[in-house]
Structures are given as structure tokens and as C-alpha cells.
Structure 1
Amino acid sequence: MESRLIEVETGRREVVHDLTSQCAAFLRETATESDGLLHVFVPHATAGIALIELGAGSDDDLLAALQDLLPADDRWRHAHGSRGHGRSHVMPALIAPYAGIPVLRGEMALGTWQSVAIVDLNVDNPVRHVRLSFLAG
């Protein structure tokens, strides 16, 4: 297995941040025309990984849906940090902190409009780490 930890600056706002090019670059270096599985994992208790269309409004729609489901208010028992921080700890139960993507001939077998993204609602933590792992088939 080949594995690498990358650093991602998500800033101090809620974000759906595209990781697709970083995943593709990792595979160019490690998969070299191989088949297998790319595992993308965010080792944080307040972020998730999504396969989603980006740039056509779906990323904003996802953030709006999460705001509806998990409002940034004072209802959360986990109450340190910014207002509504506890919702960031609930979000990974809805958007898992990992994704597995088939790799064929060294490239991700994503659908036409799919991208790999980190979803981060935690405005208190502007830098995230993402573990990329390639498991050859």
C-alpha cells in the first residue's frame, strides 16, 4: 500500500473543497497504470469526504442542506469553540470521513460529474489533513 498525508487549507468558513486534482496527482505517482482502490480519509472528528458535482451549485446546496439539518446555534451539548461547533462533530455521521474510489489503469473511475471533496463545517480549524492511500489490486 502506498500512502501519503496531504495538508489542505479550508479556511475559516464552511467549505466543500475540491481534492480531485490532488488525488489524481497522488495516483500518477503511485498507481502507474495499475488497478486498485484509492482510499481517501480525513483524520478529523469534524470533517467528511464527499463524492459530489462541484462548481454547478451542488457544493453550495450541500452546505445549505447541512445548515438546515445541523444549524449553527446553541442546541449542541458539545459546546466549546465557535457557536454551533457541536454540529461539526455530528456531521461525519452524515458525511463519512472516508471514501473508496476504484482505480483503473492508474486513474480514478469517477462518474462524469463526480469530484472528490472534503466537507468542513468547523470554522475554528483552518487547516486539515487528508490521508490518501492506494491499494493495488
Structure 2
Amino acid sequence: MAGTFTTRTVTLATGATETMHDLTNACSAFLREVAHGRNGLLNVFTPHATSGLAVIETGAGSDDDLLAALRDILPADGRWQDRHGGPGRGGGHVLPALVPPHATLPVVDGELRLGPSQSVVLVNSDRDSSERAVRLSFLS
């Protein structure tokens, strides 16, 4: 039997602050529609220069800790050569090197198989764009 590939783009309202958005429910809903009990891989990708994807525990403080660590590593000051978006914004363009813009996750029997405390999140450092796209692709 030949494999199948299905893809869809989800748009998120991210507001005007550095944020994390939990995508786990959107990923699970997508798989319920397209996986039909099959095994495969879910690829999650965001096509933005100032966003990334992480698999992390949420709700226990780790999400805030990740944002704080990224602010420490990539401070919004004038040290960056990349001036796209204005002074102090260059660090956001380095974010995808630390938090990659993609994640590939296992799908077993049509369901996303994460650990008990894991969630898939969009990490967004852009304060100027109020919307982000995330592409979900299932390959079986």
C-alpha cells in the first residue's frame, strides 16, 4: 500500500508580546481527521524568522522559564547586527537556531504519541506580528 501525505496550515493569533502557544490540541484534531488509525509521522513547521517549535511541559512554569531563558540568551538590545524590525530585534532572528522552526513527532494508531507531560508549542518572539502560521503535515 502506498503512503499518504496530508497537509494543512493553522493560523494563530499571537498578539503583541513574546508568547508560547500550545499546539497539542490542534495537532491531535488534525490527526483525528486525517490519520484514520494509521501509523506515521506528524511534521509541524512554522515559516517565520522569529518563531520556533518546542516539545515541552506546559502549565508547571517551564513555559515561562523557556521564555525567560530566551530573553537572557537573546536580549532585546543593540548588540545584534541584524536590524530587521528595528533596534533590539535582531535576537529574535537568531531564535530559530535555538528553537527550530520544525518538529517531527510519532503517530501510532492515528494518535500523537508524546510523553505524559509533553506538549507541542509555538515559541514566538515577534512583538510586531499579531498572527503566525503553522503547517501540520501527516505522512503515513
Alignment TM-score, normalising by the size of structure 1: 0.96
Q: Which amino acid in 1 is paired with 2:17? A: R
- Cα deviation, 1:92-136, whole Å, max 9, x if unaligned, reads 000000000000011111001000000001101110000000001
Q: Which amino acid in 2 is paired with 1:45? A: A
**Which runs of 5 or more structure 2 residues have no equivalent in the other structure?**
none
Give aligned-pair identity as a percent: 56
Counterpart secondary structure, 1:117: strand
Alignment TM-score, normalising by the size of structure 2: 0.94
Among candidates 45, 67, 77, match of residue 73 of structure 1: 77
1:98 paired residue number: 102
Contact 1:9–1:126 (8 Å) recurs in 2? yes
2:40 paired residue number: 36
2:19 paired residue number: 15
4+ long deviations beyond 6 Å: none
1:6 paired residue number: 10
Give 1:81 deviation, angstroms. Answer: 2.2
Q: Which amino acid in 2 is paired with 1:15? A: T
Give 1:55 deviation, angstroms. Answer: 0.8
Give 1:82 deviation, angstroms. Answer: 4.7
CA distance in 2, matches of 1:83, 1:14: 16
2:31 paired residue number: 27
Contact 1:82–1:123 (8 Å) recurs in 2? no
Among candidates 106, 122, 134, match of residue 130 of structure 1: 134
Q: Which amino acid in 1 is paired with 2:100? A: A
CA distance in 1, matches of 2:114, 2:95: 24
CA distance in 1, matches of 2:87, 2:29: 37
1:107 paired residue number: 111
CA distance in 1, matches of 2:22, 2:89: 23
What is the number of equivalent residue pairs in this alignment? Answer: 136
Counterpart secondary structure, 1:62: helix
CA distance in 2, matches of 1:82, 1:127: 19
CA RMSD, Structure 1 to Structure 2 (Å): 0.9
Q: Which amino acid in 2 is paired with 1:77? A: Q
**Which runs of 5 or more structure 1 residues have no equivalent in the other structure?**
none
Counterpart secondary structure, 2:94: helix
CA distance in 2, matches of 1:94, 1:108: 24
